[in-house]
Structure 1
Amino acid sequence: MSGKWSKLKKTLSINATGTAAAAPSSKLPPTVPDQSKSRPPTSSSSSSFSSRLSSSFSLSSSSKKICAICLGIVKIGLGQAIFTAECSHSFHFSCISCSVKHGNHLCPICRLKWKEIPSQLPDINANADHNTHGQGQVSPPQATFENHNYPRAQPEPSRYSDDEPLPVIRTDTTPAFEHARAPSSNLVIKAFPEFPAVAAAESVSDFAVLVGVRAPPLLDATDQVDRASIDLVLVLDVSGSMDGAKLFLMKRAVYFIIDNLGPGDRLSLVSFSSSASRIFPLLRMTDTGREDAKQAVTSLDAVGGTNIIEGLKKGIRVLNERRERNSVASIILLSDGKDTYHNDAIIRGRKNHNSSTATSVLNILLASVFSQNGEHINDAHLPTLPIHTFGFGADHDSSAMNGISDASGGTFSFIETVDTMREAFARCIGGLLSVSAQELRLTLSSASSGVRIRSISSGRYAKEISEGGLIGLIQIGDMYADEEKEFLVNLSIPPWLVLKGDEWVKRMSLLKITCSFKDIVSKVTMQVEGVSVEVSRPKVLSMAENILSLEVDRQRNRLWVADGISEAREMADAGNFSGAQAVLSNRMSTLLSSASAQAGDSLCSWLQCELMEIRERMANLEIYNRTGRSYVLSGISSHSLQRATTRGDSGNLASLGYETPSMVGMVSKSQNLSLPNPP
């Protein structure tokens, strides 16, 4: 306790008459003025505190922190809830809430006017929680945030339907607006057959075709009209293990997100420790909204246990119960620990180290959310709210975090060091703020008699083969600007001895590819006629017609390596590290001997670096448990969606896969910002 009292003495500057002036709060974000330099005069309503305040200062030699109102000891674990104000002064919650009830909104010690104030007396019979170190303590209630557009000192509503209305979009029908861009012409579809020709008399049961799509670019990344506005909920871990530099840098990372949201975007903040609280409603990020959101982030303190499930439940509720909806909605979940309040399900997930158990945890979570509205949910009807999870440090539950992102359609990132947190968030929102196509799907149709679709390698994207292999469908959904997706489609091809009149037809159509998507500018569903895939059918193949397509080969290498990483991970989870090393070595040998690797393909070089990094992180049980599992799961998440995730430290090449120009630009922006030294 002597250390805490020393901090209090540093915070308070006491003059000879017993009055104090508070030092500027170190928690204020850089954009918020230092309010301590312009103090309001002491109000008459606070004069009753003076004698007790002087008494509290006389205890400077004591090792205990004193409530300036009742002069009692302020200490967690004594059965009383504690309120810590934005100026860092702490009081018994019952004492300060009574003072606030009578209209006192100034700190009794430093006279700072609070922007967030306690709203109600907590349940005095609340059970003691447990922090991450197993010590019993009472979780402090969250201060209700005072916003310009919402009533002061209101508790959390029973239903989160208090989202700020979306801005009214002016309908401009001028030709310049209607034809600002031609979205269908900016979307690119490509296809490459495995070989340019197949002998006419030959039938092939497994012929590969690479099918790819690239989303339209943004004409101007700063133009709010040219991208989809988003509804974003940040679910943040503020348990005791986040105290210090972790909390400091997390706040800076969230400030960065806030600064890069536009007036059409809406943000909500949920914090969780032993319990969860929505500390900021879903509001537009106007100048006022950004300032208020930063103040809410500034008020966060790290204390208590880790209740991930309750935090996630509130985050999902914010999006499910909103009255109006932006076209893109996502949740970002950050945690550095394991859920200490849902032990049975989480322990099973850690024991099995597979995503199926964590997925069942998520299904239970979603079922509990929907049951409040009398609705039923099952595995086939999970809500389409992608949850992008960020496991931070060596102690987070990577299996559960990856399972949550996997089941929801989001990505899992592994933040290995505290100083890369802002960069990890920047990479994620660089994508979310650049959605240029929605509800995108590819339709594959057999173009000749006897051609059948046998399989589609689509990762986590939903696929369907119907009508006996005549039709194939790949559901991609949202795509970021300039983002590319590539899929291998395996066909069966019959012999081709077709005559047209007296002439032999020497070319055969295999597939016709079309695409549909909703353009984010016009909100109209666009139909794009794609390409037709053809091969020659000569009687005898020439040497030039028997050359493998490098595009198909490099994609086959990517799938081969990703499959090997998943296989090695299963072995490592079972403790078979020698077997895992053998699998990785075998995949690397096959990769390096491939035609595309021999041609110096950049994707193959990146895959080689990834395999080498994973081998190092699977060297033994200690290294694998500390960082290896998280690194591997983040890589599997990235490959399955062909979308960039953060893995390990910022200098790792494996973090750079699948990055789009918008992601690269946002990461560079975050790296160019100066960062104050953390506490």
Structure 2
Amino acid sequence: MNRSVPICGVIYMNAFVPFFFIQRTCAICLTTMKTGQGHAIFTAECSHSFHFHCITSSVKHGNQVCPVCRAKWKEIPFQNPTPDLPNGRSRVNPVGWPQDDAWMTVLRRLPTPQIDASRQVSSLFHAQEPAVFDDDEVLELPDVVADRSSSPKDAADYGSVGPMEVKTYPEISAVSRSASYNNFAILIHLKAPFASRCSSEGNLNNLPPRPQNSRAPVDLVTVLDVSGSMAGTKLALLKRAMGFVIQNLSPSDRLCVIAFSSTARRLFPLRRMTETGRQEALQAVNSLISNGGTNIAEGLRKGAKAIVDRRWKNPVASIILLSDGQDTYTVTSPSGNLSRTDYRSLLPASINRNSETGLQIPVHAFGFGADHDAASMHSISELSGGTFSFIEAEGVIQDAFAQCIGGLLSVVIQELHVRVECVHPSLRIGSIKAGSYRTGLASDARMGSIDVGDLYAEEERDFLVTINIPVDGSCDEMSLLKVRCAYRNPVTKEAVTLDEASEVKIQRTQITGQPVVSMEVDRQRNRLRAAEAMAEARVAAERGDLTGAVSLLESCRKILSETVSARAGDRLCAALCAELREMQERMANRRVYESSGRAYVLSGLSSHSWQRATARGDSTDSTSLVQAYQTPSMVDMVTRSQTLVFGNPSSQRKLRQALSLPNPR
């Protein structure tokens, strides 16, 4: 029998290690790590493992951080050449392990990082939580803000982004004077400005530091499920993903980690991710163990408390929630019995966007595996203004987190408010189709509004407004609507109002015949039509009518295929049809729907209702539709996650095959 024998707790000879994603492949040479091959395996304090000779070679060249999660090690391995022994005797392994190519000197302890003496490091491991979470670390404003006169150029560059782009598209460009047109659609297209970002190509070690002057710092609270069902590979992958998040936060960002099982505990308060802060955060995350039940509500309560009680506030704040199970402690019906329908009780009122005291803090929820409660996770995200992602394959959890923080670390617009006003005196607004965004309509229907909130860099939003156009032979051109936008710059905190309103006009002519429909309007109609079909199919499936649900999706797919944009080969329309087909397959029977169909549909609805990318199924980029909502910053961060230190494309493919992960498209 092959036994695992540790040296100083970190070296294993022919050892069996349970983390398949780590132990099957050495992250340096990309070859397998199997038992009985005569090679030592080094397992670092961050839990990642490598061939001993590979990692010592890396350390010899000055690398003292983990090649996978970028944790800085306190102890590093190194080798000394085998010395000559008297009488020509060779050195013998005293316990009979297979001999490596050199005698191993196991560990060299590195100097302990200098830690601020004022910090209570013991609080990392939650000796006792304070009654009020007001012990968040003090924020340090950039020098350029503290002293604008120090460098006029820096002051001008700080927080500077271009103007937001606003475009409008009428359904058709001309309407006959003698004709009326009901439910005439006008598309409002918004695009957030560009923000500086660094390339994620090549070796992660050689990547330049991310520029921070054009983005708002973030307060991020992660609420992580460490119940008994997370044991083994799931927890190891979660730690790995959190290591990636920690390493990609800047010193101006702050992180707090809440772990929950039967109860919840705060591992450490909101802390700046300086070098010391990162080390302490990695240490806390790597200390997690799994046991107990699943109390999502208690985890969210403490996560919300960390946001509400903080004394200092970064411009952007968000909560990331991950769970692989169902809350068995809190969800109750009005009668007091356990119920699977009252999901509102899981979300604290303090962060519910619909409550009067809500802070508008989005919860981005991640349902992990086949046993999570997709309905409650979707409800939590919807009520808070966040997104719901379905992580079907364990190996892509890091990519899913990467996509999320790629957006959060690129917020360039906050509190975006869109106002729509009728120009022609005979016009009234019929509807504003804006998904989950809050809309308003004046009593006389002459004015409407959309509360959009935050936008990531280069993120786009499309809203359809309908009006009824009357017969009017008095003019050659009719002004329909004016669109105005106001928002806040999250870095400078300055209010911005776009000087010129975007005005929508059409021609009133004597023309007859078939009008030319705007491609932009048609494709967004298709998107809304598909989202409505998905919502209707989900209702039917929950009633148990899977046949009816599949039929609804098939009918929608047929309608989409006959539209103007579909006949023109529009990629969005093709992606919508592919998504509808995927949902049909996941509604094939009750077992498939319960295990993955419900979560897949809800994640799709979340993505469409907010027009924001979510991880869906077994990948963050499983369809080109997901890519349609991805921003360049999200793409950069996902690429960074997928490549890590493996810059060679063939090495990337080899690694992903070894980890059984899908290839990025």
Partners in 2 of 1:412 and 1:177 — Cα distance? 38
1:106-151 deviations in Å (ceiling 9; x for gaps)? xxxx9x99x9xxxxxxxxxxxxxxxxxxxxxxxxxxxxxx986422
Query: 1:339–1:346: 8 Å Cα contact kept in structure 2?
Result: no
Query: 1:614–1:632: 8 Å Cα contact kept in structure 2?
Result: yes
State the Cα distance separating 1:305 from its structure 2 match: 1.3
1:351-390 deviations in Å (ceiling 9; x for gaps)? 76x6xx31x2235x437x99xxxxxx98444331100000
Query: 1:184–1:526: 8 Å Cα contact kept in structure 2?
Result: no
Question: Aligned pair in 2 of structure 1 residues 153, 521: CA closer, same or farther (>3 Å)?
Answer: closer
Question: Aligned pair in 2 of structure 1 residues 482, 152: CA closer, same or farther (>3 Å)?
Answer: closer
Q: Give the AA of the match of 2:385.
A: G
State yes or no: 1:669 paired with 2:645: no
The residue aligned with 1:85 is: none
Partners in 2 of 1:280 and 1:347 — Cα distance? 37
Question: Aligned pair in 2 of structure 1 residues 634, 148: CA closer, same or farther (>3 Å)?
Answer: farther
State the Cα distance separating 1:522 from its structure 2 match: 2.8
Q: Give the AA of the match of 1:157.
A: P
State the Cα distance separating 1:406 from its structure 2 match: 0.6
Q: Give the AA of the match of 2:222.
A: L
1:288-323 deviations in Å (ceiling 9; x for gaps)? 111111111111111111111111111110000000
Query: 2:220–2:254: 8 Å Cα contact kept in structure 1?
Result: yes
Structure 1 SS opposite 2:157: coil
Question: Aligned pair in 2 of structure 1 residues 337, 464: CA closer, same or farther (>3 Å)?
Answer: same
Determine which of 368, 371, 395 is the counterpart of 1:395.
Answer: 371
Determine which of 148, 163, 175 is the counterpart of 2:136.
Answer: 163
Q: Give the AA of the match of 1:156.
A: E
State the Cα distance separating 1:652 from its structure 2 match: 1.8
State the Cα distance separating 1:478 from its structure 2 match: 0.4
Partners in 2 of 1:182 and 1:507 — Cα distance? 41
The residue aligned with 2:589 is: 620
Structure 1 SS opposite 2:501: strand
Partners in 2 of 1:490 and 1:461 — Cα distance? 17
State the Cα distance separating 1:617 from its structure 2 match: 0.3
Structure 1 SS opposite 2:395: helix
Determine which of 262, 269, 277 is the counterpart of 2:257.
Answer: 269
Determine which of 181, 188, 191 is the counterpart of 1:211.
Answer: 188
State the Cα distance separating 1:287 from its structure 2 match: 1.1
Q: Give the AA of the match of 2:394.
A: V
Determine which of 539, 542, 559 is the counterpart of 1:570.
Answer: 539
Determine which of 319, 325, 328 is the counterpart of 1:331.
Answer: 319
Question: Aligned pair in 2 of structure 1 residues 26, 346: CA closer, same or farther (>3 Å)?
Answer: farther
Determine which of 584, 597, 600 is the counterpart of 2:569.
Answer: 600
1:17-61 deviations in Å (ceiling 9; x for gaps)? xxxxxx9655446223253879xxxxxxxxxxxxxxxxxxxxxxx
**Structural RMSD (CA):** 3.2
State the Cα distance separating 1:201 from its structure 2 match: 2.6
State yes or no: 1:315 paired with 2:303: yes
Stretch moving more, 211-220 or 609-618: 211-220
Question: Aligned pair in 2 of structure 1 residues 346, 260: CA closer, same or farther (>3 Å)?
Answer: farther
Q: Give the AA of the match of 1:575.
A: G
State the Cα distance separating 1:158 from its structure 2 match: 1.3
Q: Give the AA of the match of 1:666.
A: M
Q: Give the AA of the match of 1:200.
A: R
State the Cα distance separating 1:179 from its structure 2 match: 4.2
Trace 1:38-49 onto structure 2 (pairs within 5 A). none
Q: Give the AA of the match of 1:230.
A: V
Trace 1:327-406 onto structure 2 (pairs within 5 A). 327-342=315-330, 344-345=332-333, 357-358=342-343, 360-362=344-346, 365-366=348-349, 379-406=355-382
1:38-85 deviations in Å (ceiling 9; x for gaps)? 9xxxxxxxxxxxxxxxxxxxxxxxxxxxxxxxxxxxxxxxxxxxxxxx
Query: 2:197–2:633: 8 Å Cα contact kept in structure 1?
Result: no
Partners in 2 of 1:338 and 1:166 — Cα distance? 36
Partners in 1 of 2:171 and 2:295 — Cα distance? 50
Residue segments in structure 2 that go unaligned for 5+ positions in a row: 12-41, 49-65, 79-106, 199-209, 647-654, 660-665
State yes or no: 1:579 paired with 2:548: yes
Query: 1:190–1:531: 8 Å Cα contact kept in structure 2?
Result: yes
Determine which of 467, 476, 479 is the counterpart of 1:506.
Answer: 476
Determine which of 515, 518, 531 is the counterpart of 2:485.
Answer: 515
Determine which of 208, 221, 236 is the counterpart of 2:224.
Answer: 236
Question: Aligned pair in 2 of structure 1 residues 286, 394: CA closer, same or farther (>3 Å)?
Answer: same
Query: 2:300–2:346: 8 Å Cα contact kept in structure 1?
Result: no
Stretch moving more, 413-422 or 298-307: 298-307
TM-score (norm. length: structure 1) = 0.75
Q: Give the AA of the match of 1:508.
A: M
Determine which of 32, 35, 58 is the counterpart of 2:75.
Answer: 35
Determine which of 291, 303, 308 is the counterpart of 1:303.
Answer: 291
Structure 1 SS opposite 2:509: coil
Q: Give the AA of the match of 2:163.
A: N
Partners in 2 of 1:274 and 1:634 — Cα distance? 26
Query: 2:331–2:345: 8 Å Cα contact kept in structure 1?
Result: no
Query: 1:184–1:527: 8 Å Cα contact kept in structure 2?
Result: no
Q: Give the AA of the match of 1:596.
A: S
Question: Aligned pair in 2 of structure 1 residues 482, 37: CA closer, same or farther (>3 Å)?
Answer: closer
The residue aligned with 1:197 is: 174
The residue aligned with 2:409 is: 433
Query: 1:453–1:489: 8 Å Cα contact kept in structure 2?
Result: yes
Structure 2 SS opposite 1:468: coil
Query: 1:362–1:407: 8 Å Cα contact kept in structure 2?
Result: no
Q: Give the AA of the match of 2:75.
A: Q
Trace 1:386-465 onto structure 2 (pairs within 5 A). 386-465=362-441
Question: Aligned pair in 2 of structure 1 residues 198, 152: CA closer, same or farther (>3 Å)?
Answer: closer
1:87-112 deviations in Å (ceiling 9; x for gaps)? xxxxxxxxxxxxxxxxxxxxxxx9x9
The residue aligned with 1:558 is: 527
Question: Aligned pair in 2 of structure 1 residues 608, 35: CA closer, same or farther (>3 Å)?
Answer: same
Query: 2:230–2:290: 8 Å Cα contact kept in structure 1?
Result: yes
Q: Give the AA of the match of 1:168.
A: L
Partners in 2 of 1:461 and 1:12 — Cα distance? 53
1:248-300 deviations in Å (ceiling 9; x for gaps)? 11111001001111111000011011111100210011111111111111111
State the Cα distance separating 1:157 from its structure 2 match: 1.3
The residue aligned with 2:505 is: 534
Query: 2:228–2:290: 8 Å Cα contact kept in structure 1?
Result: yes
- Percent identity between the two aligned chains: 42
Query: 2:157–2:213: 8 Å Cα contact kept in structure 1?
Result: no
TM-score (norm. length: structure 2) = 0.76
Question: Aligned pair in 2 of structure 1 residues 350, 256: CA closer, same or farther (>3 Å)?
Answer: farther
Larger radius of gyration: 1
State the Cα distance separating 1:469 from its structure 2 match: 1.4
Structure 1 SS opposite 2:534: helix
Partners in 2 of 1:194 and 1:349 — Cα distance? 51
Residue segments in structure 1 that go unaligned for 5+ positions in a row: 15-22, 39-109, 116-145, 371-376, 499-504
Partners in 2 of 1:237 and 1:430 — Cα distance? 22
Question: Aligned pair in 2 of structure 1 residues 351, 656: CA closer, same or farther (>3 Å)?
Answer: farther
Partners in 2 of 1:37 and 1:345 — Cα distance? 56
Structure 2 SS opposite 1:226: coil
Partners in 2 of 1:422 and 1:12 — Cα distance? 27
